[in-house]
Amino acid sequence: MADLTIKNLKKSFGDVEILKGINLTIKDHEFVVFVGPSGCGKSTLLRSIAGLEEVTSGHIYLDDREITELAPAKRDLAMVFQSYALYPHMSVRKNMSFALELAKESKETINAKVAEAARILELEPLLERKPKELSGGQRQRVAIGRSIVRQPKVFLFDEPLSNLDAALRVQMRLELARLHHDLKATMIYVTHDQVEAMTLANKVVVLNQGQIEQVGSPMELYHSPANRFVAGFLGMPKMSFLPATVLVCDHQGTRIQLDDGATLTLPVDGTSLRKYSPVTLGVRPENIHVADPAESHFTGRLDIAENLGSDTYCYVKTSTGETLTVRTPGNFTCNFGQQIGLSLELDQCHLFDDQEQALPRLERIAA
């Protein structure tokens, strides 16, 4: 069992409050990913859990035991650092056995555990080498091995793959997923990489300025973000936002008018809105389609098209100067400055009120 519970955790450096009351529950076997813009406090939160930072107030529980004040080594956690932090003067074997030796385990146990970790991570041929004689990916594996041998309840990773090249990152990502499956361990993982977050996580925690914006499965966050920040943060390329005003709001849906005059009816519960109040429409690139101008919701002028082979991303300027990102097939061709018609998948659009909170989507009434 390894349930981690964080209650109203606050952390200040001097006068600056970095974590402003974090509440979070992490269940056994979960793979939790912290994402958020740089400087939002992801590392600080992770280090507070590890015990490397003293918290200002709040509580951390591992299962039923409070660990807030406990020394790092007594918390049953292991951490993998971005720089790997291998001990440079020790061989790979010694790096992995260090914690066990400090814990005064017997020689046989140590050897067995190190051999097991080396087998899992395919480090057997490298055991006698020093860290400087290893490649980046191998160092990464040693750092993971060092945490595996301790059999901790929770693994903490702080951007472990960010120093690797793209190909190796994909490989290590798969290995991490396999490891999580094999070890049945609870893992907390900080990353900047959306693909890592989406593919690895059972649960994504979006942090912003020391606060949790939303917690949920990757698909939940992607398809029903709680607010404009989460909507804009997840997804590559980003969601486009268009300002609009409410015309009609009832149980059937919400009718809005975009600034350039087009009107749309969205299957969104707008009962909390008032007529003429300002709202923001959010659309992901894949939910906009290029259409015949006569049948489309509105038109725009093509600014730039980026062809990635499988897809072409078109950046389209509306008549009011907003930029929309549109995903089109890879063979789409279009000229700079050309007027194109755009139609939206209305049931996939998001509407945010003037507090930037998402409005709940209506269950399909017709269907």
Partner 1 sequence: METKILDADAIRTMQDTAPTAGGVSKQKARISRLMVSPSVLLLLLWMVVPLSMTIYFSLIRYNLLYPGENEYVGLENFRFFVTDLGFMAGMTNTLLLVGSVLLITVVFGVLISLLINLAFWGQGIVRILLISPFFIMPTVNALVWKNLLLHPVSGVFAAIWQFFGAQPIDWFSELPLFSIIMIVSWQWLPFAILLLMTALQSLDQEQQEAARLDGAGPWALFWHLTRPHLARPIAVVVMIETIFLLSLFAEIFTTTGGGPGYETTNLAYLIYSQALLQFDVGLASAGGLIAVILANIAAFFLVRVVGKSLTDKQ
48 contributes a contact to Mg ion by CB under 5 A:
no
**What phi-psi label fits residue 21: left (phi over 0), alpha (psi between -120 and 50 degrees) or beta?**
left
Q: Residue from 39, 72, 125, 330 that binds ligand ATP (CB under 6 A)? A: 39
Structure tokens at 329: 């097939």
DSSP sequence for 215-251: EE-HHHHHHS-SBHHHHHHSSSSPPEEEEEEEEEEET
Nearer to Mg ion, 192 or 255 (CB): 192
40 contributes a contact to ligand ATP by CB under 6 A:
yes
* Contacted entry of partner 1, Mg ion, ligand ATP, none for residue 99, CB cut-off 5 to 8 Å set by kind: partner 1
Distance, CA of 231 to CA of 221 (rounded, Å): 8
**What phi-psi label fits residue 122: left (phi over 0), alpha (psi between -120 and 50 degrees) or beta?**
left
Distance, CA of 280 to CA of 258 (rounded, Å): 9
9-28 residues in contact with ligand ATP (CB under 6 A) are 13, 18
* Contacted entry of partner 1, ligand ATP, Mg ion, none for residue 41, CB cut-off 5 to 8 Å set by kind: ligand ATP
Nearer to partner 1, 158 or 213 (CB): 158
Shortest Cβ distance from residue 225 to Mg ion (Å)?
Answer: 23
CA distances from 27 to 5, 24, 43 (A): 8, 10, 20
DSSP sequence for 329-349: ETT----TT-EEEEEE-GGG-
Q: Residue from 43, 138, 191, 227 that binds Mg ion (CB under 5 A)? A: 43
* Contacted entry of Mg ion, ligand ATP, partner 1, none for residue 86, CB cut-off 5 to 8 Å set by kind: partner 1
Distance, CA of 131 to CA of 85 (rounded, Å): 10
Nearer to partner 1, 147 or 325 (CB): 147
Number of residues binding to Mg ion, judged by CB under 5 A? 1
44 contributes a contact to Mg ion by CB under 5 A:
no
Q: Would you tell me which residues interact with Mg ion (CB under 5 A)?
A: 43
Catalog residues that contact ligand ATP under the rule CB under 6 A: 13, 18, 36, 38-44, 192
